[in-house]
C-alpha cells in the first residue's frame, strides 16, 4: 500500500484488474442472473416506452406545436443527468440488505406509485378534446424517467458483479434487449389498446366507443405490476456484494465524487466523452423528427405503433444475434462500419417524407400506394437495426473499459454522455424546426393576425411553407456527421487496443481524517 499526501490512501491496482477474463463466455450457472437482469431492464424500459408514446399521442392532436414537443422532450433529460447522483447510489446503502437492492426496491416502488398518481388525473391532463396540459405531463414523466434513470444506475452497477467476469459482455445484451422489450410493451399497449379505431378494426367483433382499456386503467395496472414484481425480487433474490470481500472498506459519498473527478481527469476519458457527446448530431433529425413529420403528413399513430412494435421485435432478435460480435475485444469497429450507412439513410428519409403526402393519396384519388407501407417498414427496419447495433456496441465497449469496483459510477459517467448526445440533439432538433421554417399566407387569402404564431390557421386559410426547416436541418446534420466520422474513427480504433491502465483510477480506502 502506498500513502499519498493529502486526503487519500491509494491502492496499488493489478494490471489485469479490469480485463475481462480470457476464458470463453459460458452462461452455465449464470442463466438466472441473466434473466434477472433482463427483467430489471425490461421494467426500466416500460416508463421509457410510455413517455415516448406520449410524444406520438401529443403530435396527433392539432393544437400541439413543435415548441410543445421541445418542452415535453425535457422528460428525456434525466438519463443524461444521472451522473450527478450516481456516486450517491454507489456509496449510500445498507450493506446487510444489499448494495444494489437498497436503491432498487424503493425506486421501483416509487415508479409504481407515480403510475397510480398519473392515472388519477390523466383524463384532465390528456383530454379527448382541448389542449393537453403539457406542463404537468412534463413534470410527471420527468420524475418517472428520473426514477427509471436511478434504476438504470443501480442495474448497470449490479450487472458488472452479478455476472461472472467472462460473461460481463452479456450485460449489454440484457440492457439493450430488456429496454427494447419494455419500451415496446409500454408504447404498443398505450397507443394501440387505447385506440378506438384500432380496437374496432382488429380486436372487436362489434364496434364500440374507446379502446379495450383506458389510459387511466392502464396506468393503474402498470403501477400494480411494478409493486408486485419489485416485492418478488426483494424476497427471492439475495445479493452478494463481491466488491468488499477482499477486505476493502466501504467508499463514502465524498470519495465517490472524488473518484468521479479522477475519472474525468483521465486524458482518454476526456477525449472519449467529447466524441460521445457529439456522436448523435449526424442523425438527430432522422431519429427525433422524422416520425412526427410522418404524423403531420397523414400517417396514423396506430400504423406507426404497429410498425414500431415490429421494429422492437427485430431489435430484440438483433441484441442476441450480434452479442457474439460485440463481446469481443473490438466492439467499436462494428460501430464505425455502420456510421456511413446511417448518414446515407438521412437522404433516404428526407426523400421518403417529401413524397409521403403524394404516396398516401396517390394522384389525388384518395388511395394509398401499395408500395408506401412496405417502403416505410423497410426504411424503419434498416434504421432500427443500425441504430440498435451501434447502441449495443457502445454498451459493450463501456462494459469492457469500466472499473467494476466502482461500476455504477463509472458506467453511469459513460452512459450519461452517450445519453446526453441523444437528448440534447433531440431537444435542439425539435426546437429548431420552427426556427428554420418560413411560412407565409396564401396571396389575398388571409389577414395576418398580430401576436399569432399561425395567423393563417387561425383565420382558417392556408399557409404556404416557403422553407421547410426539416430539410434544412437534415442537410446541416448530415454534413456535421461526415466531419465527425473522419475526425473520430482513428481515435476510437486506438481506444480499443489501449491497455486497461488508461481507464483505471486508484481507489481511496478512506479519508485520512477518519484514520486519524
DSSP 406: G
> Residues 187, 190, 196, 198: is their CA dihedral positive or negative?
positive
pTM of the predicted structure, to 2 decimals:
0.68
Q: Label residue 441 by pLDDT band (50, 70, 90).
A: low
Of residues 450 and 461, the one with the higher pLDDT is 461
Q: Is the pLDDT of residue 64 over 50?
A: yes
How deeply is 427 buried, as exposed, middle or buried, from its count of CB atoms within 10 A (0-12, 13-18, 19+)? buried
Q: Rounded to 5 degrees, what are φ and ψ at 466?
A: -85, -35
Average pLDDT score over residue span 362-369: 57
* Integer Cα distance of 417 and 402 in angstroms: 14
**pLDDT mean across residues, the chain:** 80
> Which position has the grid cell 434513470?
149
Q: Is the pLDDT reported for residue 477 higher than 90?
A: yes
Helices vs strands, H then E, count in the chain: 21, 4
Checking 128-133 for CB contacts under 8 A at 24+ apart, the result is 130/63, 131/61, 131/63, 131/64, 132/58, 132/61, 132/64
The tens digit of pLDDT for each residue in 5-47 reads 333 333 334 444 444 434 555 667 778 888 999 999 999 999 9
> Quick one: which of 147, 140, 85 has its CA closest to 116?
140
d(C-alpha 405, C-alpha 401), whole Å: 12
Reported as a pLDDT band with limits 50, 70 and 90, residue 242 is low
381-433 pLDDT, tens digit per residue, is: 899 889 888 988 888 888 788 876 666 678 778 888 888 888 889 889 988 88
pLDDT of 226: 96
Range of weakest confidence among 39-43, 316-320, 324-328: 324-328
Report, as an integer, the average pLDDT of 55-66: 83
pLDDT at residue 255 is higher than 90: no
The grid coordinates listed for 284 are: 438527430
Handedness of CA 313, 318, 319, 321 (dihedral sign): positive
First-to-final CA distance of the chain:
17
If you count them, how many residues does the chain have?
516
From 277, 242, 208, select the one nearest 418 (Cα to Cα): 277
The conformation of residue 189, written as its DSSP 8-state character, comes to H
User: Which is more confident, 269 or 96?
Assistant: 269
Amino acid at each position: 500500500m502506498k500513502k499519498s499526501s493529502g486526503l487519500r490512501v491509494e491502492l496499488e491496482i493489478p494490471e489485469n484488474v479490469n480485463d475481462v477474463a480470457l476464458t470463453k463466455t459460458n452462461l452455465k450457472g449464470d442463466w438466472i442472473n441473466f434473466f434477472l437482469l433482463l427483467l430489471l431492464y425490461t421494467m426500466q424500459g416500460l416508463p421509457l416506452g410510455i413517455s415516448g408514446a406520449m410524444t406520438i399521442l401529443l403530435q396527433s392532436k392539432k393544437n400541439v406545436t413543435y415548441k410543445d414537443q421541445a418542452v415535453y422532450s425535457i422528460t428525456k433529460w434525466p438519463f443524461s443527468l444521472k451522473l450527478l447522483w450516481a456516486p450517491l447510489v454507489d456509496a449510500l446503502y445498507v450493506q446487510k440488505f444489499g448494495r444494489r437492492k437498497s436503491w432498487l426496491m424503493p425506486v421501483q416502488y416509487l415508479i409504481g406509485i407515480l403510475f397510480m398518481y398519473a392515472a388519477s388525473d390523466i383524463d384532465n391532463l390528456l383530454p379527448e378534446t382541448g389542449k393537453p396540459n403539457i406542463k404537468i405531463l412534463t413534470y410527471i414523466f420527468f420524475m418517472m424517467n428520473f426514477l427509471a434513470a436511478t434504476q438504470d444506475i443501480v442495474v448497470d452497477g449490479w450487472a458488472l458483479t452479478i455476472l461472472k467476469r467472462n460473461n460481463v459482455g452479456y450485460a449489454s445484451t440484457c440492457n439493450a434487449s430488456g429496454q427494447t422489450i419494455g419500451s415496446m410493451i409500454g408504447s404498443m399497449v398505450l397507443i394501440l389498446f387505447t385506440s378506438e379505431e384500432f380496437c374496432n378494426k382488429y380486436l372487436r367483433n362489434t364496434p364500440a366507443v374507446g379502446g379495450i382499456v383506458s389510459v387511466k386503467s392502464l396506468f393503474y395496472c402498470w403501477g400494480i405490476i411494478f409493486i408486485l414484481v419489485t416485492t418478488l425480487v426483494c424476497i427471492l433474490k439475495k445479493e452478494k456484494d463481491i466488491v468488499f470481500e477482499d477486505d476493502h472498506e466501504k467508499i463514502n459519498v465524498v470519495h465517490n465524487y472524488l473518484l468521479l473527478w479522477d475519472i474525468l481527469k483521465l486524458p482518454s476519458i476526456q477525449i472519449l466523452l467529447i466524441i460521445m457527446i457529439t456522436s448523435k448530431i449526424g442523425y438527430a433529425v432522422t431519429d427525433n423528427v422524422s416520425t412526427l413529420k410522418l404524423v403531420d403528413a397523414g400517417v396514423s399513430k396506430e400504423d406507426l405503433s404497429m410498425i414500431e412494435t415490429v421494429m422492437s421485435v427485430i431489435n430484440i432478435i438483433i441484441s442476441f444475434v450480434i452479442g457474439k460480435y460485440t463481446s469481443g475485444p473490438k466492439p467499436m469497429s462494428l460501430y464505425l462500419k455502420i456510421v456511413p450507412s446511417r448518414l446515407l439513410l438521412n437522404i433516404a428519409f428526407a426523400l421518403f417524407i417529401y413524397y409521403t403526402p403524394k404516396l398516401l393519396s396517390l394522384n389525388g384519388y384518395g388511395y394509398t400506394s401499395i408500395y408506401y407501407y412496405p417502403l416505410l417498414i423497410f426504411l424503419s427496419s434498416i434504421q432500427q437495426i443500425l441504430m440498435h447495433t451501434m447502441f449495443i456496441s457502445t454498451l459493450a465497449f463501456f462494459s469492457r473499459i469500466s472499473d467494476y469496483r466502482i461500476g455504477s459510477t463509472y458506467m453511469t459517467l459513460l452512459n450519461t454522455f452517450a445519453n446526453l448526445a441523444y437528448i440534447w440533439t433531440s431537444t435542439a432538433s425539435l426546437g429548431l424546426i420552427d426556427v428554420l421554417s418560413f411560412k407565409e399566407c396564401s396571396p389575398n387569402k388571409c389577414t395576418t393576425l398580430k401576436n399569432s404564431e399561425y395567423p393563417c390557421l387561425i383565420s382558417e386559410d392556408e399557409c404556404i411553407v416557403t422553407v421547410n426547416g426539416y430539410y434544412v436541418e437534415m442537410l446541416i446534420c448530415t454534413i456535421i456527421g461526415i466531419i465527425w466520422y473522419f475526425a473520430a474513427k482513428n481515435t476510437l480504433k486506438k481506444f480499443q487496443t489501449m491497455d486497461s491502465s488508461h481507464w483505471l483510477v486508484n481507489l481511496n480506502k478512506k479519508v485520512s481524517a477518519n484514520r486519524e
